[in-house]
Amino acid sequence: MKVNHRELIQASFNEPRYAVSADGTRIAYYIYGDGPEVMFWQHGFNSDAAHWEYMLSFFPADEYRIVAPDLRGCGNSDKPADEGAYTFDHLTQDALAVIRAEALRDFTVLGHSTGGAIAQWVASELGEAVKALVLIGPVPATGVPVNEAARNLFLQGADGDGKAQGRARILQLGWYGDMPQQVLDELLPGALTWSKEAFVGVFNTWTTGVNFPERLSRITAPTIVIGGQHEPFLVKDFMMAAVVNRIPNARYVTVSDCAHFIHIQQAAVTAGIARGFVAAQAVRA
């Protein structure tokens, strides 16, 4: 019988599991596939785990087992009503809680944007348990400084009457060219699950609250950093200096015709790079 990947993906996101983080916050996560190649995928700011649907269809369910959590404050995860509950320490402990709940070992860590910062920290913490590290437009270990104008633009999506418009604008900023209305309609519901406290707290985290450059030299996993040709903030020179050159055995690849949402706008290419990179590690081993 032919496998309908779309039905499998939708079923996966309809059945959240839960892990309890160090501070008692429940973190929702989803399992796609039951294959031998295990991966942990962490999404970023103003999105939820369902945003991975674009790339998941390129990962056969009988070859991969993918564990993908919602960050605290969005999706089906708990939403603490305190901006102070969204520090980088909280976010990394949430990821570890899910990894421990599923007893993951010899697995690949993949992260996008803020999830890329979390992925770097996890790889530095777990050492040889992580077999490969895939970073898609990642926030560096020193955060992403933004000016006051950019800060005001982002925080327009925090709450109030302009919340939907503000969060839609942020999504559109990460797209090369005009984002198709259908894509915006598919992405915006996940963005709107973010509580005000999570939105402001995680924004503050990825701009000023991430600072662990000393950990990057501890990463033992072979690492690939995937950047968008038209990335508006995390440009190649910045990525090379802040991420690639700080991680042993890391390399960089540029994907054309996309900006920050590389894994959505160029899902097939991104999936191909990730799959090929992970497979190459097995050959080298």
* Euclidean distance between CA atoms 70 and 143, whole angstroms: 21
Per-residue model confidence (pLDDT) at position 35: 96
Give residue-wise pLDDT tens across range 99-113. 999 999 999 999 999
Cα three-residue angle 135-133-274, rounded to 5 degrees: 70
Q: Measured in whole angstroms, how far is the alpha carbon of residue 15 from the centre of its chain?
A: 20
Indicate the pLDDT class of residue 14, thresholds 50, 70 and 90.
confident
Tell me the average pLDDT across 155-160: 92
Rounded percentage of the chain residues whose pLDDT exceeds 90: 91
Closest of 85, 72, 83, 62 to residue 27, by C-alpha: 72
Residues whose CB is less than 8 angstroms from the CB of residue 29 and which lie 6 or more positions away in sequence, other chains included: 16, 17, 18, 19, 49, 67, 68, 69, 70, 98, 101, 102
**Token reading at 24:** 């008692």
Closest of 57, 53, 51 to residue 4, by C-alpha: 57
Per-residue model confidence (pLDDT) at position 208: 96
**pLDDT reading at 8 higher than 90:** no
Query: For 254, how many CA atoms within 13 A lie in the half-sphere containing its CB?
Result: 12
| Beta-bridge partners for 32 | 66
Distances, alpha carbon 221 to alpha carbons 129, 143, 192, 257, in Å: 9, 21, 34, 28
* Euclidean distance between CA atoms 131 and 219, whole angstroms: 10
Give residue-wise pLDDT tens across range 263-283. 999 999 999 999 999 999 876
Indicate the pLDDT class of residue 1, thresholds 50, 70 and 90.
very low
Indicate the pLDDT class of residue 180, thresholds 50, 70 and 90.
very high
Give residue-wise pLDDT tens across range 17-54. 999 999 999 999 999 999 999 999 999 999 999 999 99
Per-residue model confidence (pLDDT) at position 284: 60
**Token reading at 63:** 């070859």
Give residue-wise pLDDT tens across range 195-226. 999 999 999 999 999 999 999 999 999 999 99
Phi-psi region of 164 (alpha: psi -120 to 50; beta: other; left: phi over 0): alpha
* Euclidean distance between CA atoms 151 and 230, whole angstroms: 21
**pLDDT reading at 92 higher than 50:** yes
Per-residue model confidence (pLDDT) at position 2: 47
Indicate the pLDDT class of residue 12, thresholds 50, 70 and 90.
confident
Strands (E), the chain: 17-20, 26-32, 37-42, 64-69, 107-112, 130-136, 223-228, 250-255
**pLDDT reading at 115 higher than 80:** yes
pTM of the predicted model as reported, rounded to 2 decimal places? 0.96
Tell me the average pLDDT across 61-77: 97
Q: Is 57 exposed, middle or buried (0-12, 13-18, 19+ CB in 10 A)?
A: middle
Phi-psi region of 73 (alpha: psi -120 to 50; beta: other; left: phi over 0): left
Per-residue model confidence (pLDDT) at position 5: 56
Mean of all residue pLDDT scores within the chain: 95
Per-residue model confidence (pLDDT) at position 165: 96
Q: Is residue 41 within 8 Å of residue 32, measured between CB atoms?
A: no
Give residue-wise pLDDT tens across range 118-156. 999 999 999 999 999 999 999 999 999 999 999 999 999
Q: Is residue 228 within 8 Å of residue 258, measured between CB atoms?
A: yes
Q: Measured in whole angstroms, how far is the alpha carbon of residue 4 from the centre of its chain?
A: 25
Q: Hey, which CATH number is domain 5-145+193-284, 3.30.930.10, 3.40.50.300, 3.90.380.10, 3.40.50.1820?
A: 3.40.50.1820
Closest of 59, 44, 69, 75 to residue 8, by C-alpha: 59
Phi-psi region of 46 (alpha: psi -120 to 50; beta: other; left: phi over 0): left
